[in-house]
Amino acid sequence: MIRCALAKGRMADGSLELLRRAGYAVEAPAGRRLSARDPEQRLEVFLAKSPDVPTYVSYGIADVGIVGEDVLRESSPDVLELLDLGLGACRLVLAAPRDRAAAPPRPSAEGALRVATKYPEIARAYFARRGVPVEIVRLSGSIELAPELGLAPYVLDIVETGSTLEAHGLAVVDEVQRSTARLIANRARWALEHAALRAFARALEGALRVGIA
């Protein structure tokens, strides 16, 4: 049986739907359960917080995983990236209150630019490339609250529909990168269980083509 870690939240439904189109009749875990199997016992899926998906895969607890490219770029895990699944397309952007967003970010007279984010590594690299000193404030979620509450004037976060930015009076300053869901695999498992995992990846690839056609 193949064990697959799925990122909870925005991408979970799309990931399960793709698995079903690929021929694995797996339903969303029932009630408060976080794992489920298909009736033929070919696949077990479990839902984890997105930053934990590459961790489960790199430790070989899961053979494969489906997680956003944003998470992979942030943590650079030692896993194989097999496929771009195109699901959960979003943008990672630098944003600020509308009156500030039109101008390029400049550090204040006191020194570094303060940026709240769940992506400290991506943020650090982005500002290092521009030679702008930053103070990164790491948060776990609800990032758009930071400017309103006075924690940080800038945020680096995911935008999908743009409604959360809009609802907090924020506007995009710059696009940092785009992101879609990726199929990842444990390196050792990929070598040892090559035929089974390749067949799994091919089934997903086929389901993507069907989805697009």
* Residue 156 backbone class (left: φ over 0; alpha: ψ -120 to 50; beta: rest): beta
Place of tokens 């961790």: 55
Considering the rule CB under 6 A, would residue 164 count as an interface residue with ligand PRP? yes
**Scanning residues 89 to 148, which ones bind ligand PRP (CB under 6 A)?**
141-144
Maximum Cα–Cα distance for the chain, whole Å? Answer: 64
Cα–chain center distance at 110? 34
- Structural tokens at position 199: 């067949």
Task: Give the nearer residue to ligand PRP in terms of CB position, either 25 or 89.
Answer: 89
Among 1, 160, 178, 206, binds ligand PRP (CB under 6 A): 160
Considering the rule CB under 6 A, would residue 163 count as an interface residue with ligand PRP? yes
Task: Give the nearer residue to ligand PRP in terms of CB position, either 66 or 201.
Answer: 66
The whole-angstrom separation of Cα 171 and Cα 151 is 17
Cβ within 8 Å of residue 51, ≥6 positions away: 71, 74, 75
Task: Give the nearer residue to ligand PRP in terms of CB position, either 43 or 122.
Answer: 122
Which residue has the closest beta carbon to ligand PRP? 141
Considering the rule CB under 6 A, would residue 69 count as an interface residue with ligand PRP? no
Nearest alpha carbon to residue 115 among 160, 49, 176, 54: 176
The whole-angstrom separation of Cα 142 and Cα 30 is 27
In one-letter notation, the amino acid at residue 133 is P
Residues facing 170 on adjacent strands? 97
Considering the rule CB under 6 A, would residue 178 count as an interface residue with ligand PRP? no
Task: Give the nearer residue to ligand PRP in terms of CB position, either 41 or 163.
Answer: 163
Considering the rule CB under 6 A, would residue 157 count as an interface residue with ligand PRP? yes
Among 122, 158, 173, 176, binds ligand PRP (CB under 6 A): 158
Considering the rule CB under 6 A, would residue 13 count as an interface residue with ligand PRP? no
The minimum distance between CB 101 and ligand PRP, in angstroms, equals 15
Q: Which residues bind ligand PRP (CB under 6 A)?
A: 9-10, 141-144, 157-164
